[in-house]
Amino acid sequence: MAKTPRLLASAAALFLAVAAQAEPDLEAGAKLFSKCTSCHQIGSNTKKRVGPNLNELNGRIAGSIEDFPYSKSMTKAGQEGLIWTNETLDEFLADPKVYIPKTRMSYRGMKDPEDRLNLIAYLNTFSANMASHSAGDPHDLDPAILALVGDKEYGEYLSGDCKTCHQADGSAEGIPPITGWPVDDFVYVMHAYKNKDRNHPVMQMMAGRLSNEEIAALAAYFADLEE
Amino acid sequence: MTEFNRRLFLGTSTAAFGLLAAPAVMAAAHGKPRVVVIGGGAGGATAARYIAKDSDGAIDVTLVEPSRTYFSCFFSNLYLGGFKEMDDLGHTYGVLASKHGVNVVHDWAVDVDPDGKMVTLAGGSKLPYDKLILSPGIDFVDDAVEGWSVAEQNKMPHAYKAGSQTELLKAQIMAMPEGGTFAMVAPPNPFRCPPGPYERVSMVAHTLKANNPTAKIIIADPKEKFSKQGLFQEGWNKHYAGMIDWIGADFGGANVSVDADAMTVTIDGEETKVDVCNVIPAMKAGRIADMAGVTDGNWAPVNAIDMSSKANADIHVLGDSSQQGDMPKSGFSANSQAKVCANAVRGALTGSRVFPAKFSNTCWSLIDTDDGVKVGATYEATDEKIAQVDGFISSTGEDSATRKATYEESEGWYSGIVADMFS
Ligand SMILES: Cc1cc2nc3c(=O)[nH]c(=O)nc-3n(C[C@H](O)[C@H](O)[C@H](O)COP(=O)(O)OP(=O)(O)OC[C@H]3O[C@@H](n4cnc5c(N)ncnc54)[C@H](O)[C@@H]3O)c2cc1C
C-alpha cells in the first residue's frame, strides 16, 4: 500500500522541476479527468471506448494504439514523430483542433495552464514509460539494494558524469531532470536501466557500469540537490 | 591590472573555514594553494568551475583565456545548417567569477616555466602555480595540406575553431553560384571531433538543398573510413542523393593540394575549380603545451588516473591536447576528463577525498531536420591509458521518432554541458 503515495510523490517532484511555477494538484487532476471519462479509459479498466485508452500515454507515439480508428491527421502526426510528453500534451490539450487539425477528439480545449498541469500530472501516474521519469515499483528490487545507504560525497563526484547532460538546477530541455527524486525511485530507475528493462542506450551504458553502492550514492546526492 | 589580483571569496566564509581546517597539503609555504588553468573551453572552464566550486574558497583558481566570449565548436555545424544562431553558441565567464570566485584573466599564456612553476602572460604578468591545468584545444600542423597555411584561412577557412571562421564559411556557402562546388579537405586521425567533418557536410548539404539544390559537395579524405560512416552515408543517400562525393584514401583522397588564389583543389592529380574550400588540416596540441614541455610529438601524453602529464606531475593536460588512449577528442570527453582531474587536484592540494577515475562520452550528430544519430562509450583508467569499457551507436534504418528524439536529446545535452562549464 505504500506504493500509491510514492508514485504520487515522484510525479509531483517531476512537475516541480519541469514547470517550476506550481506544484500540481493530483486530486484536482483526477477531478478534471472526469471530463474525459465519457470517451477515455485509464487504470485497470481498459475496455475500448470512443477515445483511446490513456494508460502509458506519456512517451507514447501519437496515434499508435493498434486497431484504434484514429483520424488520419492523428496517425500522420505520429508517423511524423509526434510523441506525447508533458510539453506536447500541454499544447494539445490547450487547443486540440489547432494542434492536430481534424482530430476526432471533440473537446474544445482546456484554457487554464494550471488545470492542464494538474491533469497531465494525474495522467502521468498511469505512465511507467514516460519520456521523463516515473517510478515503477521499487518493491521489485532486492530489499538489500534499497536498504543501502548512499555515500553522498561519492555521489557528488559520480554525478559529474550525469551533469554533462542532466542539469544540476533541475531544468529540462530535451533531457529529463533528475534532481529531487525520492531515493527509492532513483535507485529503481537506475537498476531498470542497468538490467536493460528500460530502453535508452546512453542510460543503459551509464547505469550498466555502476555498482549497487554507486547507484545508492547518486540517489542520495541527487535527492537533496538544490541549486 | 587589478584583474590579476586574487579575488576575495564572498559569502562562503563558514564553508571555507571548515575546509581550511582539513589537511592542506600545499598550504604551508604561501597561504592558499594556487591552480592556474590555461584555456577556458570544454576542459578548462569545467576544471576551473569544479575546483573553485567544490573547494569552497580553499583553493585559488585563475583561468587564463584570451576570448571574452567562448563560441563552442559543438553545434557550430548546426549554425551552418541554419538550425542555430551564432549567438546561441556564445558563452561568457561572468558567473565563474561572480558565483564561484574564479579569477578570470583575459589574456594569452605565452610561456610556462615548469621548474619555477610560473606562467607568463602576453601582457607581461606572471602567475605562480602549485598545479597547472592545460586545456588549450588544438592548433594546426604546419604544411599539412600543400598550398594551405593559416595565412590562407580567409580564402579557405578551416572553421575548426568556432566564431568568425564559422561565420565566414557560412557566408561563402550562401554566396555560392547556382550549381557551384563546395570542397572539403578532411583531416587525418587523430583530430578534434571525429564525426565533425561529416556532420558539417550534412549541414552544408541541408543549406544547399534549400538554396542551391544543384550545387555539389566533394570531400577529399586521407582516411579509408570515418566515424559513423554507415549512418552518414545512409542519411546522405536518403536526404541529399547525388549531391555528395566522398573521395577516401583508396581513391586518392590523401593526395591533395590547394591553391587559394586560383580557388582550385587538386585530388590525385585532377584539378577542380571550386567555389568554397573548407580546409581542415592535421592537428596537434595547442602550442602552449609545447612551451610547457609536456608534448611528445603532436600531443601531450597523460596518466589516465588523473590526467597529469607523463612529463611533469604538477601539470595536467585535458581535452583535445591530451594523448590519453581511447577517448575521442570531443567537448564531452574534455568535460568528463576535467571532472576527474578536478577531483584529483583538489585531493592533492587540500586532502579532500579522491575517487576512482570514470569517464564517458557521447557524440550526437545531425544529418537533416529531426534526423539525429549518436555514438557513445564509457571508459576507465588503466596503468597504460584511458580504456574503453562499453559503447553503443545508433543503428541504420531507425524510425523517425527515434531520430527526432535523438536530436532533441542533443539539444538537452548542449544546454547541460554549457551549464556544467559556465553556470
Ligand atoms: C565543427 C565541430 C563540431 C564539434 N561538435 C562536437 C559535438 O557535437 N560534441 C562534442 O562533444 N564535441 C564537439 N566538437 C569538439 C569540441 O569542440 C572539442 O573537442 C572541445 O572543444 C575540446 O575542448 P578543449 O578544452 O580541449 O579545447 P577548446 O574547447 O577549444 O578550448 C580551448 C581554449 O583554450 C584557449 N587557449 C588556447 N591557447 C591558449 C593560450 N596560450 N593561452 C590562453 N588560452 C588559450 C582558446 O582560446 C580556447 O578557448 C566539435 C568540434 C568542431 C570543430
> Above pLDDT 90, what percent of chain A?
33
Tell me which of A17-21, B239-243, B391-395 is least confident.
Answer: A17-21
| CA–CA separation, B31 and B35 (whole Å) | 13
One domain for residues A101 and A198: no
| CA–CA separation, B59 and B345 (whole Å) | 10
Phi, psi of A80 (to 5 degrees): -85, 0
One domain for residues A47 and A110: yes
B148-279 shares the fold of B3-139+283-355: yes
CATH superfamily of B3-139+283-355: FAD/NAD(P)-binding domain (3.50.50.60)
The domain total for chain A is 2
pLDDT score recorded for residue A212: 96
User: Which grid cell sits at B60?
Assistant: 585559488
Helices B331-350 & B42-55, crossing angle to 10 degrees? 30
Cβ within 8 Å, pair A209-B343: no
CB pairs under 8 A between A and B: 101
Kindly calculate the radius of gyration of chain B based on its CA atoms and give it in whole angstroms: 22
Tell me if A17 sits within 8 A of A177, measured CB to CB. Answer: yes
One domain for residues A203 and A141: yes
Report residues whose beta carbon is within 6 angstroms of any ligand 1 atom. B 38-44, 64-67, 70, 73-74, 76-77, 108-109, 135-137, 160, 192-193, 196, 200, 286, 288, 318-321, 329-332, 334, 363-364
User: Which grid cell sits at B156?
Assistant: 579557405
Burial category of B85 from C-beta neighbours within 10 Å (exposed 0-12, middle 13-18, buried 19 and up): exposed
One domain for residues A211 and A166: yes
Q: What is the mean pLDDT of residues B281-307?
A: 98
- B9 pLDDT tier (thresholds 50, 70, 90): very low
One domain for residues A16 and A107: yes
Alpha carbon separation from B295 to A120, B2, B142, B339, B414 (Å, rounded): 56, 33, 16, 22, 30
pLDDT score recorded for residue A225: 87
What's the CATH number where A155 sits? 1.10.760.10
pLDDT in tens, B31-65: 899 999 999 999 999 999 999 999 999 999 999 99
One domain for residues A157 and A109: no
pLDDT in tens, B205-240: 999 999 999 999 999 999 999 999 999 999 999 999
Residues 6+ apart with CB under 8 A from A144: none
Residues 6+ apart with CB under 8 A from A27: none
The residue range of the domain holding A166 is 132-223
Q: What is the mean pLDDT of residues B64-69?
A: 98
Q: What is the mean pLDDT of residues A12-34?
A: 66
pLDDT score recorded for residue A180: 85
pLDDT score recorded for residue B25: 46
Q: Taking the mean position of all CA atoms in its chain, how far away is CA B19?
A: 33
| CA–CA separation, B75 and B78 (whole Å) | 5
Residue A17 has pLDDT above 60, yes or no: no
Q: Where are the alpha helices (DSSP H) in chain A?
A: 3-19, 26-33, 72-79, 86-94, 96-99, 113-124, 143-147, 152-163, 183-194, 201-208, 212-223
One domain for residues A136 and A121: no
- A39 pLDDT tier (thresholds 50, 70, 90): confident
Residue A91 has pLDDT above 80, yes or no: yes
- Which residues on chain A are in Cβ contact (under 8 Å) with B75? none
Which of A110, A126, A142 is the last residue before a domain boundary? A126
One domain for residues A103 and A27: yes
ipTM of the assembly? Answer: 0.85
CATH 3.50.50.60 is right for the domain spanning B148-279: yes
Residue A207 touches partner B, C-beta closer than 8 Å: no
